Chains A and B, each alone.
Chain A
């Protein structure tokens, strides 16, 4: 098997966007800069640029998601691409077709990009490994592994509010074990050079050797939030609240729920983030989610511009469009 970074082409340019891991800092900065330019597109009367005109992008969702799929669709349309939305759960695979069969059939229809969401870790890598030479693959979330576009819009939001990454201390609170978002955020924050990344949660929700990801592990919210600049709370899925991972929502909120009182431990200008959807009263108090330090809605607003930048970068259409021209 080829052990090269399959995200990059022979010239080291981005071809697929599967995970943040292994990408250079400059590439992430380029994406953030491009996204900055694209935000002005969304504010224009005609919210379109012709970068991907004539290209066909397939939103290939093996796992249901309305919000992520919508932002990808919007991003593709604003780049002037043709978009197909395919909910695979309801189609071919239920008739026994393999993932590879589905992919090959779509490639035969001359599609140029797959935006893939799948419940199994590594699915986007698998599709990229078997992709036709002209096809790019964007990972829109695979199992517990990665959700790199979400992480990039989170980085975009952090940069907009905090500027430089280097002196930041960032805490990620909640279900790290099952979170593809957290993994991608950790890689992105590391690559962008933040001073410290902490993960906070009970041992049942933290991977066994989390420290190898370059994070500091805290099981106590108080120590974890001390002097923090950015707090990212993660969605706690209700189905994981019972069973053997946690005793109850009540106890989780008592120990790890983000309340106004607990925010005092962080820096006074700390921002609060959440990839959504929010479980109010479980991982975050409404007063915090809707409070002045919350940037949760900004994250949502940035989703389209960041995904436009990533799609254009993967199709190698960014260099011909200097960022300033879009302003």
Chain B
């Protein structure tokens, strides 16, 4: 299939491209930018006038719920939501049922995503068997099955020695260790940030130190072991400062933040709004501003969705008894664009934090529209205002605090390997 995307502003941070040019795609790959190759005739012509053309978004954290929680969502339903959100590559955590601790589970996820054909899925393998924090998983086999990294998600380790050994073993196979830094003892089954709002509402608090203590101990191990480590979902300014220092010292560490942590704060939990029950918890305004600042400096390299679709009942209970997470794939781009309006990032930096940088963290071919590269493309209208409503959500999960928000920025086309998988029809 040959596709021509014409008249759009092509922004491709991987190749320092930013300008009004045509993009030419053939046989799933980018073949030219600017002038059409000799003899090129398009099967599909996409008019991208007044739109931005960029690499398909790469999401470092999206729960797909399959296998094991198909009552919430499936790989097919959520990759379809990804396509609507302009996401062409996504990384799924190992917290499925069973956990991604065998090649069979990893292969099943990859295969089902291939069958669905909406987005490329790279599962993270479990760092320990069953995510129980006791025994190492068979990481070599997981890598061979297609896992690009390993993680224990928020699941606790029996002791720091297990984490140390797991990091060493992962380093043997050049696997990146994805860390959700939260000390389980300090978190103490809390449900909200330990601060003014949790004090007021009588919610059990998770102190900021639960994150910083875990980051500090992890960094000490990284310094010793040298394993490539990615810190997922930072929620505190202090943790970002620590990552910056570690990067300055030459440690192989990267970090991401969720789009909702860049917009919401503990104050959004007032009124016990269970849609704002997330993990790590929404922190203070100072933390939110700090995370924005460290994102703008590049210390936090990527913005992720931390997509967590739920069935309606999961949020229909008192705050502390509800499931954590937001259905977020379809708001990833507009919430990130809001950072451009807020002066936090340039549009080029924003696109880099959603494409090139997460692709590099994952170590996969994505986020690059250079000639010969895979034609995963996102076309969006940066000036299109729309209101997020329940019936607009494609994800099976309708759990989002952003319902009724007026958002700016609309994905109009998504191409996966040169094949259109989504086209916006107003």
Chain A interface residues toward B at CB < 8 A:
1, 3, 6, 21, 98-100, 118, 120-123, 125-126, 130, 142-146, 180, 183, 207-210, 212-213
Contact = CB atoms under 8 A, between A and B. Distances in A.
Contact of A122 (B196, B199, B203, B205): B203
Interface string B301-326: 00000000000010011111100000
B272 A122 contact: yes
Interface in B63-109: none
A70 to B, nearest CB: 24
Contact of B271 (A3, A98, A130, A207): A3
Contact of B202 (A3, A130, A144): A144
21 contacts: A1-B273, A1-B401, A98-B316, A120-B321, A121-B201, A121-B203, A121-B318, A121-B320, A122-B201, A122-B320, A125-B271, A125-B272, A126-B319, A144-B202, A180-B202, A207-B199, A207-B205, A209-B196, A210-B199, A212-B196, A212-B200
B209 to A, nearest CB: 10
Max count, chain A CB within 10 A of own CB: residue among B199, B204, B271, B319: B199
Nearest to B203: A121
A145 B201 contact: yes
Contacts of B195: 208-209
Contact of B316 (A6, A100, A125): A100
A43 B191 CA distance: 46
Nearest to A124: B318
B148 interface: no
Contacts of B273: 1
A208 B316 CA distance: 29
B199 A212 contact: yes
B388 to A, nearest CB: 13
A297 to B, nearest CB: 28
B153 interface: no
B236 interface: no
B319 A122 contact: yes
Interface of B: 194-196, 198-205, 207, 271-273, 275, 313, 316-321, 401
Given A130-B316, A142-B202, A212-B196, 11 more contacts: A1-B401, A120-B319, A121-B319, A125-B271, A126-B318, A144-B203, A183-B202, A207-B205, A209-B195, A210-B199, A212-B200
Max count, chain B CB within 10 A of own CB: residue among A122, A142, A144: A122
Contacts of A209: 195-196, 199
B313 A98 contact: yes
A3 B271 CA distance: 7
B199 A146 contact: no
B202 A143 contact: yes
Contacts of A99: 317-318
Nearest to B188: A244
A62 B219 CA distance: 45
B321 A208 contact: no
Given A98-B313, A120-B318, A144-B203, A208 B275 contact: no
Max count, chain A CB within 10 A of own CB: residue among B201, B204, B319: B201
B271 A146 contact: no
A270 B273 CA distance: 41
Given A98-B317, A143-B320, A180-B202, A208 B271 contact: no
Contact of A121 (B271, B272, B316): B272
Contacts of A118: 318
A192 B248 CA distance: 54
A126 B313 CA distance: 13
B320 A120 contact: yes
A120 to B, nearest CB: 4
A63 to B, nearest CB: 12
Contacts of B205: 207-208
Contact of A183 (B200, B319, B320): B200
A126 B317 contact: yes
Contacts of B194: 208
A121 B200 contact: no
Contacts of A183: 200, 202
Contacts of B271: 1, 3, 6, 125
A213 B318 contact: no
B202 A123 contact: no
A301 B273 CA distance: 37
A99 B319 CA distance: 12
Given A118-B318, A120-B318, A145 B202 contact: yes
A118 B272 CA distance: 15
Contact of A208 (B207, B317, B319, B320): B207
Contacts of B203: 121-122, 143-145
A213 B317 contact: no
Q: Which 10 interchain pairs have the tightest Cβ spacing? A: A144-B202, A207-B199, A145-B202, A122-B272, A212-B196, A123-B318, A121-B202, A120-B318, A209-B196, A122-B319
Nearest to A186: B200
A1 B203 CA distance: 20
Given A183-B200, A209-B199, A212-B199, A1 B320 contact: no
A197 to B, nearest CB: 14
Nearest to A122: B272
A284 to B, nearest CB: 23
